[in-house]
Amino acid sequence: MLRVAVPNKGALSESASAMLSEAGYRQRRDSRELVMVDPDNDIEFFFLRPRDIAVYVGSGTLDVGLTGRDLFLDAQVEAEELMSLGFGASTFRFAGPVGEFASLEELNGKRVATSYDGLLRDYLAERGVDASVVRLDGAVESSVRLGVADAIADVVETGTTLRAAGMEIFGEPILKSEAVLIGRRGASPAGLDVLKRRLKGVLVARQYVMMDYDVRKELVEEAAALTPGLESPTVSPLRDSDWVAVRSMIKKSDTNRIMDELYDLGARAILVSTIHACRI
Ligand SMILES: Nc1ncnc2c1ncn2[C@@H]1O[C@H](COP(=O)(O)OP(=O)(O)OP(=O)(O)O)[C@@H](O)[C@H]1O
Ligand SMILES: O=P(O)(O)OC[C@H]1O[C@H](OP(=O)(O)OP(=O)(O)O)[C@H](O)[C@@H]1O
Ligand SMILES: [Mg+2]
């Protein structure tokens, strides 16, 4: 039975469970449940703190886990990223009091507070910056005002928390994070391929739509270039032999641009429908 770690609370929890449900797996009804067996799919879900998930997977206790890339790298365990999951995006950045820091080098000899000390120590060491790292559990934005640090390194999403603390970002982003599936390096436990294929199916169904349109036969090559699809578009005859019907998957975010371009080309009856589920 495949043993999978899922965030039990926090920023990633709801989206992780929603994605697994969409992939056809049973998920817990009560947020206090710690384990959930799905016998139909021969899989077992363990609901754990997102920060601890990499530790369980790295030690081999659990086969795979859904967690944040930043939390995974911070844990410094023997595991690898198997795929990105398309949610939980965030950026990990340096910040300091407004006007005080402009570049990474200025951190030499300073104190930097963070909840991600493993990640930060690696980053500073790789760039030869000699700063002392102050490990805090959370709310690191308050650390400078309270005098335990000179700057911070933290997750920034909207920047609201930073602004409220009178701080601003500086330097290059340390890391772009999102939710990822992690597993033991080189391991391929039974059921993992199916899980990955199902998750990929959810990603594609979320990111793509199905587009149908009619176009004059002589324009089909030009139209197909706009909608190449994953393999190749389906082209079907119409009763009026001067026209054909074309069907192709396109990126959801390109929908309106492609509809405009197809219309300008002379395509008509352009229809877009959602993809409920798929296997690619
Ligand atoms: N706005 C956000 N705030 C915090 N984390 C976010 C945000 N958006 C995405 N994430 C991601 O969520 C994960 C952190 O989740 P979570 O906040 O549950 O952990 P935590 O901060 O360790 O726990 P808690 O805040 O409950 O003490 C990281 O991978 C982070 O990149
Ligand atoms: O840029 P923003 O949209 O304001 O979001 C970023 C903030 O959200 C997270 O805090 P969280 O709520 O997880 O609390 P924590 O710091 O105690 O983990 C993160 O640590 C930042 O403080
Ligand atoms: Mg948090």
Closest C-alpha to ligand 2, atom 19: 155
Residue 205 has pLDDT above 90, yes or no: yes
Which atom of ligand 2 is least distant from the CA of 139?
16
pLDDT (0 to 100) of residue 241? 97
Q: What is the mean pLDDT of residues 46-62?
A: 97
- pLDDT, tens digit, for every residue of 209-246? 999 999 999 999 999 999 999 899 999 999 999 999 99
Domains of the chain: 2-87+178-190 (3.40.190.10), 90-177 (3.40.190.10), 208-274 (3.30.70.120)
pLDDT computed for residue 125 by the predictor: 97
Long-range contacts formed by 191-198: CB under 8 A, 24+ apart: 191/1, 191/2, 191/41, 191/42, 191/43, 192/2, 192/63, 192/64, 194/41, 195/2, 195/4, 195/23, 195/43, 195/64, 196/82, 196/83, 197/279, 198/23, 198/24, 198/25
CA of 115 to the centre of ligand 3 (A): 9
Atom from ligand 2 closest to the CA of residue 157: 1
Is the C-beta atom of 93 inside 6 A of ligand 1? Answer: no
- Percent above pLDDT 90 for the chain: 97
Kindly provide the ipTM of the predicted complex, given to two decimals.
Answer: 0.93
- For the stretch 12-34, what's the b/e string if a residue is b when 16 or more beta carbons lie within 10 angstroms of its beta carbon? bbebbbebbebbebebeeeeeee
Instruction: Assess whether the C-beta atom of 160 lies below 6 angstroms from ligand 2.
Output: yes
Summarize pLDDT for 153-204 with one digit per residue, the tens: 999 989 999 999 999 999 999 999 999 999 999 899 999 999 999 999 999 9
What pTM value is reported for the model? 0.90
How close is the Cα of 12 to the center of ligand 3, in Å? 10
Query: Looking at residue 159, what is its pLDDT?
Result: 92
The reply to whether ligand 1 has any atom less than 6 angstroms from the CB of 141 is no
Say if ligand 1 is within 6 A of residue 12 CB.
yes
Give the closest residue (by CA) to ligand 1 atom 14.
Answer: 11
Backbone angles phi, psi at 78, to 5 degrees: -80, 85
For ligand 2, whether the C-beta of 154 sits within 6 Å is: yes
The pLDDT value recorded for residue 280 is 83
Q: What is the pLDDT of residue 203?
A: 96
